[in-house]
Amino acid sequence: MQPIVNTPRSEKLRRSAIMSSHSDHPGSENHGNFPADIRDLPESRPSEIVSLANGEAFDLRIAPMVKRLGDAAVRMLAYNGSVPGPTMRVQQGSEVVINVTNEADTEATVHWHGLRLQNAYDGTHETQTPMQVGQSFSYRLQFHDPGLYWYHPHIREDYGQEMGLYGNILVVPSDPGYWPPVNREELITLDDVLLENGQIASFSRTETTYVAMGRFGDTMLINGDVTVELSADLGEVVRFYLTNTANTRVFNVGFDTARMKLVGGDSGRVEQEAFVTEVMLAPSERIVVDVQFDQPGTVTLEHRHPERTYPLASVTVRETAAEPELTKQFEVLRTNADMTAERDRLDRYRAVAPDKTLAFVAEMDMGVPDGPIVYSCPMHSEVITSDQGRCPHCGMKLVAVAATYTCPMHPDVVSDSPDRCPECGMKLMPSQLVGQAQEHHGDDPTHAQHHATDQHGHAGGHSHEATGGIEWEDDMVEVNRITTPANMRWKLVDRSTGEENHAIDWHFNVGDQVKIRLVNEMDSDHPMHHPFHIHGAGRFLVMSRDDTVEPNLVWKDTVLVRTGETVDILLDVTNPGLWMAHCHIAEHHESGMMFSFTVDP
């Protein structure tokens, strides 16, 4: 196995710049789109669970295959021929070697998400030379913490992850009483994919698209399939390990007629078990729930948000009674002493100023059309004004669009300049404003412009409250599609130094407790939620959200920061090396919303 040493900072910055500048190399040999042809490709295989003993080695192969999604047969990428890839079941405290061979259509690394492992095997372009097509790399993995983890690409993550490159790692606790008793376990990956003309929508080799909001899919995938049918015995208690593997979609899931108990999160069990009706997972987050099926019939796993509900999977509950009977144990809500002790420790840091403050900021430059313009919100087309400002509904910066001019009294009179109507002498108005005014306010065409202009200054709180600060769907599909790192820049900004993204240069020592404040600014060209992920330098606890103390602690590696929200976390630094931190919306990450930091022994 080849040794890896920490990359010097100058080289780190050079590599990072290359990784976030796909659009800067249109003349490279990898021009055009990634292939979509399915000829001569093997069919996908069912996913498998592989139990690995301490010291064992396992082979992973990255390669294209054909997968059937409903009526469509599409080209996807897979680990060992399946989507998801193999689930690796390992014991806490063990170590294994994973030999990865890249037979895909681009260079590759594999990131072992959430694991506190040796830095050389973190699977980023900063810790290893990427595997070119035909090359291999061996990763040595340690499993210090029980819980649910996953693996995925870390080069062109927007492409590889959407195409099916993800799989789980289930770390079995060394303490047999760590989790409550259940009859059995199920793993569920939550994903979506964008289909166009019977294929996964194309990806450019040279640039990332859908940078504004990330690539939302129009087809839900549960464990890589469009439909999933499960079964359970009456009264059976099933543990579901949930992972959000989507590029950008936040999932809010629950069972329509079965009781659900929250028992764990990213890196182990929660402080206080609780009965819940639904749980929310941002991209890359994991949640562990126990569900009892106490009525015969069909139970539906649903994704619910304010605009609609998606059925994801069904569970047929048989009338055969489950054995053993675990109803009494299911009713118990345990308080976990290890996490209660962490709460006592956190109290010492609540009144302390943050060591670091990171702001999440967007800058859009969509250009200005030639000729007359008006300003509109890409997400709310009814918002049109002659003055630039912000959308009163979502706080997004209004963008310039080409305008034509129309007479409100004689709509057949159209001009490309603000002249006067030859019929009545009235000054012509932008056609978009006239149309909106007539639709909403009858014969008063000036009212719509007045309304938009009055409130364009700043009203993002409306979106934060109405939707929970989350973009549940792509409400500006065509604008989102054409956004790239060239016209849309997502930034992580260190508020103490002003440094942005790759220029941020943090240094910590093993044993440090670092309080980090994450501020998702509303005063941004496109405010939206961000799942913030820290690689294996340690793990963290969420201290508070908007000064409200986090009610139920769990060790985490990813936290969802909603639009306009401020979140304080405490990072427990345990692992030396050069580590990354970034937004886990794949398109934001690929457009440069990331940085790395150094931990000294």
3-state per-residue secondary structure call for 244-308:
ECCCCCCEEEEECCCEEEEEEECCEEEEEEEEECCEEECCCCEEEEEEEECCCEEEEEEEEECCE
List CB contacts of 32: < 8 A, sequence separation 6 or more. 204, 205
- How far is Cα 249 from Cα 246, in angstroms, rounded to an integer? 6
Report yes or no: 57 and 98 within 8 Å, Cβ to Cβ: yes
pLDDT at 431: 62
Report yes or no: 177 and 205 within 8 Å, Cβ to Cβ: no
* pLDDT exceeds 90 at position 562: yes
Report yes or no: 508 and 600 within 8 Å, Cβ to Cβ: yes
* pLDDT exceeds 60 at position 535: yes
CATH 1.10.260.40 assigned to 196-335: no
The pLDDT confidence band at residue 504, using thresholds 50, 70 and 90, is: very high
Token duo for residue 268: 């182990």
pLDDT at 444: 39
- How far is Cα 559 from Cα 388, in angstroms, rounded to an integer? 33
pLDDT at 385: 72
- How far is Cα 574 from Cα 444, in angstroms, rounded to an integer? 65
pLDDT at 16: 41
* pLDDT exceeds 60 at position 87: yes
Report yes or no: 378 and 213 within 8 Å, Cβ to Cβ: no
Residue 340: count other Cβ atoms within 10 Å of its Cβ. 12
Q: Which CATH architecture has domain 347-362+484-600?
A: Sandwich (2.60)
pLDDT mean across residues, the chain: 87
The pLDDT confidence band at residue 193, using thresholds 50, 70 and 90, is: very high
What average pLDDT does the segment 205-213 reach? 95
**Interior CA angle at 547 toward 518 and 280, to 5°?**
65
* pLDDT exceeds 50 at position 456: no
For the stretch 576-598, pLDDT in tens is 999 999 999 999 999 999 999 99
User: Quick one: what percent of the chain has pLDDT higher than 90?
Assistant: 74
For the stretch 347-406, pLDDT in tens is 999 999 999 999 999 988 755 555 666 676 666 666 777 676 777 776 666 766 666 777
For the stretch 271-329, pLDDT in tens is 999 999 999 999 999 999 999 999 999 999 999 999 899 999 999 999 999 999 999 99
Residue 455: count other Cβ atoms within 10 Å of its Cβ. 17
Segments making up each domain of the chain, as ranges: 9-178, 196-335, 347-362+484-600, 367-475
> Sheet of 297-305: strands edge to edge?
229-234, 308-321, 297-305, 251-255, 279-281
Please tell me the least confidently modeled range out of 11-20, 247-256, 448-457, 591-600.
448-457
Q: 9-178: what fold?
A: Immunoglobulin-like (2.60.40)
What average pLDDT does the segment 165-172 reach? 99
For the stretch 95-153, pLDDT in tens is 999 999 999 999 999 999 999 999 999 999 999 999 999 999 999 999 999 999 999 99
> Sheet of 405-406: strands edge to edge?
414-415, 405-406, 429-430
Q: Which residue type occupies 524?
A: S
Query: Which H or E run includes 157?
Result: helix 157-162
For the stretch 487-496, pLDDT in tens is 899 999 999 9
Q: Which residue has the higher pLDDT, 85 or 446?
A: 85
* pLDDT exceeds 60 at position 11: no
- How far is Cα 323 from Cα 340, in angstroms, rounded to an integer? 33
Closest to 279 (Cα-Cα) out of 310, 245, 305, 299 = 305
Q: Region of 340 please: left (phi>0), alpha (psi -120 to 50) or beta.
A: alpha
Q: Tell me if 196-335 shares its fold with 347-362+484-600.
A: yes
pTM of the model: 0.83
Question: Strand (E) positions, 167-258?
Answer: 167-172, 184-193, 195-196, 199-200, 219-222, 229-234, 236-244, 251-255
